[in-house]
Structure 1
């Protein structure tokens, strides 16, 4: 179960509660699901009960308890536990099998994993930009908006102009020639829009101290593992792995749709870049802790198939995110 699936499950529960007269008020168009905050529990959480409490004329905790029962009815095989915490947050613990479904969802969708319809029906016209950073930022935001179903473009009839801290003129002229397109784009997009862009030669360093190198290296490693697994006759399988070391990587992959949606809503490509860094770090730790390929005389097993599938899913997320930033994801590095 992906966060998008869980969001639809919660929305189903709201519709049922309203339809059966248990809960009063309008049904929202969408429900946001994210990581539990301080004091939370489980895999994911939502604050939808706080939104619905006013129209329902009930306390948020009352609304949360109503939705808790409906959610368990809507997906008893995918959500094993729903807990109400704080003023009315709903916290979800997913069934183990839902994680293998997540890997399968990524592999089925390819680099379009995380695309959705949260902004379907929304038209956005961004003002063209002449300054180098604003231009790169604007074209990237257009791509992000389109991943969420928005009709987005640039044009003179702009409805919105992005505010971006410009690159000093003395550094802007030869930036792409000096750094190359990939490093230059990372340096312009990785910092938040109002922070200073990165323009130094550190963007070219082939070392883990350079986040761009780490992300691209992690992607190349996923591709190498899949190639080597195929050569050994080990197919990638989306079966679930219960290994604790896989959990951070699964969590990061599961977060990808929400990151894309938030980056589009907030016009913030830097959120995608930071998420790619987290995913790359989680994958590199995973591959060191849980070897995806047999070592020595070790026989290929179901665990290796599952690990390879997870590696392939991680590579898919990294490739998709880099593509949205306009950065190449090489299979060899």
Structure 2
């Protein structure tokens, strides 16, 4: 019996007592069921009696006694104790606890998936690095965390579209084009241009793709370097993301907002709603009406539109595509952007608390021997995603980046994350999966198989370490749901490390396969199911982080 099943059982018990007239309350829509900190207090605890006492006009312990008496009669419940002011501590029948292993194996890839976000349609925008250089280590954190959040949201029932916003309009693209042009002509890049050897590489590729580019006049040259250079850089970014295991559903061009007239339409809509005014020759959005610290310029006095104008059009475009909620992931250097974006959303007539969510992430440092890794030769000024994956591999990089809360700055130690030892968290979790795979291969060599669910007796899983493992497996759906709700993939990583440790302790205490002339019996089968269930959870959990679950290490 999983926590979710027990929750439903407790709610059904409340409904039964209410129907008999013994308790005069509204049946709660949800019931809190959690594991007690002290295992001696049972398998699960609920505070439902305390919640119902006041509306029932009864002492909490009296309500608890009523519910406990009813719960004790339910299949799968071995004992119910009333504790403290009215908590119910529930101990499951051994077969009910052991059944969790059967449920996990039977569900397979679906185990851990729930539906609290069913019906929600979300647009998740992350990374969105300018196409003026390779993806750096900060962008790699958003790639790992953003993709994991997308997987978690889908596992909780939401429909998610992963989107990359291509900033291919504006001053930074002009600087990029001038840098490429200078490199192709053998001149130093402009002072405000982009450095690094990649500029020379891209410039040479543009010349190869457009052989007559240097024979054109200055404006035509620059346009060619702009168009072809951005396309080449974007192709490299796509390959970087694909190599990192991140697939975007939509690559959205900022330039297209101007080409389709979406920016003009957005400004016209905001003007009609009375939020746009002109001052000092510029066009402004009155964002202070909606809590911003100052109004924002949409069109400068020289007629040039701002990034904020593009953002207005882009937000409205997302909403027009049917997304209930727009989720945007930004780096710490964009934290000041939150207030103005919320004001923008409010100005369009939407509710920022309902239709918008902005996540801010902190920086990443790559260390070797305790010292920062030197900047990339290719980029000139920054550490790249490729530097990270070259140093520790994709699996370790994704796991390391997703393992900490995004509001914490993290240091990634190359030496630690490269080790094939248990102090490397990703190795520790992957090794647990590989160890189980080895057990199952050895079982197959002995002619042992799981068989059908009806072939196993879950009640035989009575050892303390078996119970610890079963309870941990049962927690997985709740961990996934909470991680999705809180946008916190690190909760999955930390859970997997605890699960791996729980499995290793079980394996050390409970012999799974027979030795020598020993005969395999029903307990062997039950433990093989338990091993398989653990493997399912490790595999599913690692999959949510975009990390592989190897069968051999």
The match for 2:30 is 30
Q: Alignment partner of 1:206: what SS? A: coil
Q: Which moved more, 1:9-18 or 1:180-189?
A: 9-18
Q: How far apart are 1:58 and its partner, in Å?
A: 3.3
* Paired residues of 2:457 and 2:526 also in contact (CA < 8 A): yes
User: 5 Å matches for 1:149-188?
Assistant: 149-154=157-162, 156=315, 157=318, 158=326, 159-168=356-365, 170-173=382-385, 174-188=387-401
11-20 vs 305-314, which moves further: 11-20
* 2:105 corresponds to: 107
- Alpha-carbon distance between aligned partners in 1 of 2:87 and 2:465, rounded to the nearest angstrom: 28
Residues in 1 aligned to 2:23 and 2:120: alpha-carbon distance in whole angstroms: 29
1:220 aligns with 2:434: yes
- 2:474 counterpart of 1:254: yes
Q: Deviations over 1:47-68 (max 9, x none)?
A: 2233333433433333322322
In terms of mean alpha carbon deviation, does 92-101 or 234-243 score higher?
Answer: 234-243
Deviation, structure 1 residue 170 = 4.0
Residue aligning to 2:312: none
User: Equivalences for 1:196-215 in 2 at 5 Å?
Assistant: 196-201=409-414, 202-215=416-429
Shift, 1:188, TM fit: 0.7
Q: For residues 247-274 of structure 1, what are the alpha-carbon distances to aligned partners after superposition, in whole Å with 9 as ceiling and x for unaligned?
A: 2212211221221122122221111111
Answer whether contact 1:40 1:91 (CA < 8 A) is retained.
no
Once the two structures are superposed, residues 211-255 of structure 1 have per-residue CA deviations (whole angstroms, 9 ceiling, x without a partner) of 211110110111111111112111226423222332221221122
TM-score (norm 1): 0.90
TM-score, normalised to structure 2, is: 0.56
Bigger strand share: 2
Q: Is the 8 A contact 1:83 1:92 kept in 2?
A: yes
Cα distance in 2, alignment partners of residues 87 and 189 from structure 1: 40
CA distance 1:296–1:160, change in 2 (3 Å):
same
| Structure 1 residue ranges (4+ consecutive) displaced by more than 6 angstroms after TM superposition | none
| Cα displacement string for residues 70-89 of structure 1 (whole angstroms, at most 9, x for unaligned residues) | 3334x2x2011111212222
Extract unaligned runs of 5+ from structure 2: 129-138, 164-314, 319-325, 327-355, 366-380
Give the conservation status (yes or no) of the 8 Å contact 1:132–1:167. Answer: no
2:146 is aligned to 138
* Structure 1 residues 86-125: aligned runs within 5 Å: 86-125=84-123
C-alpha displacement of 1:38: 5.6
2:457 equivalent to 1:239: yes
- What are the Cα deviations for residues 163-215 of structure 1, in whole angstroms up to 9, with x where unaligned? 32232584454223332221011111112222233422211210111121111
* Range with bigger deviation, 243-252 or 224-233: 243-252
Whether contact under 8 Å (1:127, 1:160) holds in the other structure is no
C-alpha separation in 2, matches of 1:322 and 1:196: 23
Q: 2-side partners of 1:70 and 1:49: how far apart?
A: 13
Work out the CA distance in 2 between the residues paired with 1:162 and 1:328: 26
Change (3 A) 1:151 1:191: same
Provide the secondary structure at the position in 1 that maps to 2:359: coil
Of 180-189 and 195-204, more deviation after overlay is shown by 195-204
Q: Unpaired runs of 5+ in structure 1?
A: none
Using a 3 Å threshold, how does the CA distance of structure 1 residues 44 and 200 change in structure 2: closer, same or farther? same
Match of 2:72, SS state, is helix
- Highest CA radius of gyration, 1 or 2? 2
* Range moving further from structure 2, 54-63 or 40-49: 54-63
Is 1:332 aligned to 2:552, yes or no?
yes
CA gap 1:39/1:301 in 2 versus in 1, 3 angstroms: closer
